[in-house]
């Protein structure tokens, strides 16, 4: 049974996907017309903060990606916690299928990208950029199918994509390596202590949790991508139910944030990231050999990994498809898992360290792979769902 809060999340994310497509088209037009200098000017300048002798400076585009992806991860983590603790995902039986799908897609995408990139002499850790899945874009495609797409199918894709997004972010932080500096570890420990005290005191107001999470993000921003994990950590401590069980602070916070994140943050993120950088790769550069491995990692490797891992899980009786969903429909959902422009570019930007040739390769691969994944997934789902509907009509 899909709850009303889950349907609301799916609805807002579908709107975000449609707005992201418009933002992508606008960014491509602007970056290839007379507005290109203006477009480059809003994301290339260095923006820095300083405290004493410590100075932290990064391009505006890096700050935009870091801040807005953190906001997206926060909302996604809130929805995951709500589903796990309350309704749709309560119990291990409902968690295994989307978890296995996300794991299979991440492993297949990363492995194919890494192997092909190494064979062609490509860059080191950019294989992580193939692992993420765009929740909003996939749900936007499913929304185009209208009532023909069951709510359980949308919920399954959303959960799998959210697990993939969170998992790829964790992998990114691990691959970047190195322990945070002692000041950062000390501040993070202090924030974690505050979180524990708030829960121990049964504080139901969400503002102390959000404020502590914001401090944690600001401190971790000096360590690069580590800051994106501040959102999921904060969501872990936000109380799911009030003491009298009459309200859900977590749900209230999520519903308050959804319109802003979906209608403002995500479109801005896509608009800022979509345009290709004018920086050209030197002749013979290894970054010229990243596009094909990245593309094949996203499509069709990711879809094959999702489908294969879930099929194996059902054969081993670790999980089962939701009622009313067959393997053909699941195959269409697996193909949608290859769509991931926003998260792929963020991962590539974080690994490359700046906007340049390597990130351009990821942009090119992500654009092509997302377009094919969306087109093939939509075609298969439209065909299979139409056939199923016709059979039901004939029987009645």
pLDDT at 52: 47
Query: What pTM does this model have?
Result: 0.88
Q: Residues with Cβ < 8 Å from 3, sequence gap 6 or more? A: 86, 87, 88
Alpha-carbon span 161 to 336, nearest angstrom: 9
pLDDT at 387: 78
**What's CA 143's distance to the chain center, in Å?**
18
pLDDT at 124: 66
Q: Residues with Cβ < 8 Å from 111, sequence gap 6 or more? A: 127, 297, 301
pLDDT at 26: 92
Tokens found for residue 209? 């949790």
Domain, as residue range, for 192: 4-395
| H or E stretch at 57 | strand 54-59
| H or E stretch at 364 | helix 357-395
Cα-based angle 357, 66, 341 (whole degrees, multiple of 5): 55
Alpha-carbon span 47 to 53, nearest angstrom: 16
pLDDT at 364: 87
Of the candidates 66, 34, 62, 35, the one whose C-alpha atom is nearest the C-alpha of residue 47 is 62
Output the domain CATH number for residue 75.
1.20.1530.10
**What's CA 127's distance to the chain center, in Å?**
16
How many residues in total does the chain contain? 396
Q: How many CA atoms lie within 13 Å of 298's alpha carbon, on the beta-carbon side?
A: 35
Residue by residue, pLDDT tens for the chain (396 residues) are 577 788 889 899 999 999 999 999 998 888 888 877 888 777 766 555 554 444 456 777 888 888 999 999 999 999 888 887 766 555 566 788 999 999 999 999 999 998 988 776 655 678 888 898 899 999 999 999 888 888 888 889 999 999 999 999 889 888 877 667 777 788 888 999 999 999 999 888 999 999 999 999 988 887 777 888 899 999 999 998 877 777 788 989 999 999 999 999 999 999 988 876 554 444 444 445 778 888 999 999 999 999 999 999 999 988 888 888 889 999 999 999 998 888 888 888 888 766 567 778 888 889 999 999 999 999 999 999 887 765 545 455
Tokens found for residue 74? 């926060």
Q: Residues with Cβ < 8 Å from 83, sequence gap 6 or more? A: 6, 89, 90, 159
Longest dimension (CA), the chain: 76
Alpha-carbon span 345 to 126, nearest angstrom: 11
pLDDT at 91: 57
| Domain count within the chain | 1
pLDDT at 224: 72
pLDDT at 351: 80
pLDDT at 223: 75
The H-assigned helical ranges of 278-337 are 291-296, 302-315, 327-336
């Amino acid at each position: 049974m899909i709850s009303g809060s889950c349907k609301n999340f799916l609805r807002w994310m579908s709107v975000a996907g449609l707005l992201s497509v418009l933002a992508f088209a606008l960014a491509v037009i602007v970056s290839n017309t007379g507005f290109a200098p203006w477009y480059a000017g809003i994301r290339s300048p260095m923006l820095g903060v300083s405290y004493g002798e410590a100075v932290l400076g990064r391009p505006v585009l890096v700050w935009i990606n870091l801040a807005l992806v953190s906001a997206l991860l926060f909302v996604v983590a809130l929805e995951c916690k709500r589903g796990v603790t309350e309704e749709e995902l309560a119990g291990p039986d409902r968690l295994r299928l989307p978890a296995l799908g996300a794991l299979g897609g991440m492993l297949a995408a990363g492995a194919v990208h890494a192997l092909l990139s190494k064979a062609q002499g490509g860059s080191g850790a950019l294989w992580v950029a193939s692992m993420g899945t765009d929740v909003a874009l996939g749900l936007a495609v499913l929304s185009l199918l209208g009532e023909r797409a069951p709510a359980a199918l949308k919920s399954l894709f959303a959960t799998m994509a959210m697990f993939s997004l969170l998992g790829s972010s964790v992998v990114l932080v691990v691959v970047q390596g190195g322990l945070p500096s002692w000041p950062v570890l000390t501040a993070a420990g202090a924030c974690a202590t505050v979180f524990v005290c708030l829960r121990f005191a049964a504080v139901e107001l969400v503002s102390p949790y959000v404020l502590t999470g914001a401090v944690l993000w600001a401190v971790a921003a000096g360590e690069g991508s580590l800051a994106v994990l501040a959102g999921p950590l904060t969501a872990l401590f936000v109380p799911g139910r009030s003491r009298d069980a009459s309200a859900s602070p977590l749900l209230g916070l999520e519903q308050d944030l959804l319109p802003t994140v979906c209608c403002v943050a995500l479109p801005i993120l896509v608009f800022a990231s979509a345009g290709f950088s004018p920086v050209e790769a030197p002749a013979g550069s290894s970054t010229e050999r990243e596009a094909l491995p990245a593309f094949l990692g996203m499509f069709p490797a990711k879809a094959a990994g999702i489908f294969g891992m879930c099929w194996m899980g059902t054969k081993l009786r670790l999980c089962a498809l939701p009622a009313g969903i067959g393997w053909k429909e699941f195959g269409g959902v697996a193909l949608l898992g290859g769509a991931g422009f926003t998260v792929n570019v963020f991962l590539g930007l974080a690994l490359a360290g700046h906007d340049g040739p390597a990130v351009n390769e990821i942009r090119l691969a992500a654009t092509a792979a997302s377009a094919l994944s969306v087109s093939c997934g939509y075609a298969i789902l439209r065909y299979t769902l139409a056939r199923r509907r016709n059979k039901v009509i004939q029987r009645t």
